[in-house]
Each structure stands twice: as C-alpha cells, then as structure tokens.
Amino acid sequence: MDSLESLPVGRRVAYWRGRRRLSQQVFADRLGKSKSWVDKVERGVRSLDRVSTLHDVAAVLRIDAAVLLGRDARPAEVTGRIEGVERIREALSTYDMAVGRPVVGCPGVPADRVARDVGHAWITFQYARYPRVAELLPELLAGAQRAHADDPGRGRATVVEAYRLTASLLVKLGEAELAWLAADRAMLTATGDPVLVAAATVQLGQVMRACGRVRAALSTALAAAYRIAPPDPDDARPAELSLCGTLLVQGALAAARHGDDRTVADLLDEAAAMAARVGDGHDHHRTAFGPTAVDLARVAAALDLGHAHDAVTWHEKTVARDGWRWLPAEHRAAHLLDAARAYLHADDPASAARALVEADRTAPAEVRHRPAARDIVAQVARDPHAPATIVQLAAALGVT
C-alpha cells in the first residue's frame, strides 16, 4: 500500500488490523477496549492520545509504534553525532602558527574577510544550523589563527570570536572537554583586553557548568563581570551592560547548580536592572541580553533549584512577550528544552511534549543533535500519560 504513510493514524490501524486478519471485536478484546472504541479510532472520531495506548495497539498488531505514525517517524538523517566534531578537534590540536610553521591548506586571507566569515558563522549558529557550523569551523579556525599571526592587533578579536563560537557549538553537542580547550584558547588570546576576556568568559562559564565545575564557574563569571562593570550604569553603553549582565546571569546559573537560592536571586535581580537599560531585541557581543533573556534564565535557575512550578510560571509569563520572538532561534529552542524539563518535573507531560515539539519546529538541530535534548525526549515519551505526539518525535530521534 504505497500511500499508507500519508493516511491518518486511524486508517493505518485499520490497515494493519486487516493484515493481521483480526476482526474489530477480536482486536478490541485483545486491547481490553470496546468494539465501538476501535471503530471510532479507525474512523478518526477518536484519537490515540496516550503513549501507553499507542504502544498497546502496536503490540497487538505486532508492529513498531513508529509505523503507526507514518513517514515522519523514521529516524531523521540529521539525528546523531555530527561528524565535523573530529575535524574541529584536529583544528584545535594544531599549533602550526605557534611554532612558526604555515597553516597547512590555509593561504593568507585578509583579516576583514576572516572577520566577516566568523560573523556569518555566528549567525548560522544562532539559527541552530549546527552541522553547517561544524563544517565551517575548521577552516575558520585556521584562517582566524593565520590572520592573528599576520596582524595580531586586527586579528585578535576575530580569533577570540572563532574560539567562542567553537566552544558554544561543542557545549551544545555534549563535547564539554573539547569545548574547554576552545574556551581556554579564547581566554589566553584575550588576556590583557578586559572586554575580550569578559566575552570569552561567557563561554568559559558555560563549559565549566557543563563539566560540573560550578564553583569555579561562579567565581570566574563574577570576577570578569565586576572587572568591566561600569561605575555608573546610567552612563554605560548598552554593549558594556550586555556583557556584564550576561556574566551575572552565568554566575546565577552556576549558583543555582550549587543550590544557592540567595545568590541566584541577587545576581538575577542585578542583571535584570542592567537588562532594563538595554532593552530587548539586541545582540551585543553575541549575548542576546535583555529583560527577556534574564527572565528565561530565571526558568533554568528555578529548575536547577528544584522549583519546577516556579519555573513553569516564569516560562509561561516570559514567552508571551514580544521580546521572546526577537531572540535567536537557538536561544528560544534551548529554552524550550528547559521548559519541557520544568513541565515534566511539575507532572505535566502533555505540556512538556508540546514544548519539545515546538523546540523541534523552531530549531530542529537543537533537539536532534543535543544529547541532553534526546534524553528529555526519551523521558517524556516514557511517561504513560504523555500524548502520542511525542512518540513521533522520539521515533524520529531513535530514542523510543
């Protein structure tokens, strides 16, 4: 039946019931349902809205649950490890310029061209096109290193940005140790320039939290934040406030992992005051800092502190703002993963499933390439009260 995958779920149930030579009554008896229930499902009057029921139907029909969900349930080709990670590892493992050898396969490129290419790669990252970023990074790293060696003054900021981008991507992909190397390179290159050091510390804080070094993440973020904190916030430039405020947020997230409620509240309130002066819709230093970003951080912090219902409340309040739509797709999708965890911990698997589906719609690679995302999908799909929609996503990720 070539058109089977395009049929509604109920029609597919009827098709496979017929293939198994089961009458509606016998099928209903094996499910522990009524014949009327089976008839309504097959006619589309009633939906299979629970994961447990979907699996029961599939078990009686002796097929995989994914088959009932059609072609979209096939494991997606983009799912899984991004091969480009190994090439990034190789790029980070070379020290050609440091020892005075030319970078292999990297002819000299004007510094302004390299800077534009790195900026383009950042935008690609913010659209959550992670496989493409992984393809670009090895050559970008080589080009940025070469530009820095040729002209340290002009090339310094560019190579720091390239390392920051590399660390951000690797954290997403669950490669925390390799991300640490990239963040460390950024910090070393930035040494002596407080603004560049602060920018690099944003990624270093993320890496440290990913590695479980929450105390170090907190102290490092705060040291960098207060080093660049403007004496008078009223006279500070938005770019300065954005970087300082983002570091305070990083510190708050580290404190939340440590279980320090008071420090979390103080740091986020301080960041919120800076965010109010910056406003939403900006992306200074690749931070997307503003009132909405700070309140999304409150969701993640509340979740780590064990306050799932507070996290849900902050989430639902914050995503209703205009500022939510102005955030990069990567930022929104990452937050939706936090929201899914919050809903799950608040015993609302249906809302958790909706958040995950929305994250996949917003930025598929955020869900399909992040190990943490795949774990959340698997947890929600295993809940007996989760809606059937999450099974389709779980099957696409191969985590059913």
Taking only the tens place, the pLDDT of each residue in 27-42 is 999 888 889 989 988 9
What is the pLDDT at residue 241? 96
Q: In the block, which residue shows the tokens 């930025």?
A: 363
CATH class of 4-73: mainly alpha
Taking only the tens place, the pLDDT of each residue in 123-134 is 999 999 999 999
Work out the angle between the directed axes of helices 329-345 and 371-382 (0-180°, nearest 10). 40
Mean pLDDT, the chain, integer? 87
Q: How confident is the model at residue 148 (pLDDT cuts 50, 70, 90)?
A: confident
Question: Residues 271, 252: contact at Cβ < 8 Å?
Answer: yes
Tell which wins on pLDDT, 372 or 103.
Answer: 372
Cα 112 from Cα 93, distance rounded (Å): 25
Q: How far apart are the first and last CA of the chain?
A: 25
Which residues does 325 contact at the CB level (< 8 Å), separation at least 6? none
DSSP assignment string, 177-203: HHHHHHHHHHHHHHTT-HHHHHHHHHH
* Residue 311 pLDDT greater than 90, yes or no: yes
To the nearest whole percent, how much of the chain has pLDDT over 90?
Answer: 57
Question: Residues 108, 142: contact at Cβ < 8 Å?
Answer: no
Taking only the tens place, the pLDDT of each residue in 374-399 is 888 988 888 777 777 788 788 878 77
Q: Hey, CA dihedral for 48, 51, 53, 57, is it positive or negative?
A: positive
Q: Where are the domains of the chain?
A: 4-73, 236-327, 336-400
Least confident of 107-111, 192-196, 226-230: 107-111
What is the pLDDT at residue 74? 42
Cα 288 from Cα 250, distance rounded (Å): 13
Write down the pTM of the prediction: 0.80
Question: Residues 45, 385: contact at Cβ < 8 Å?
Answer: no
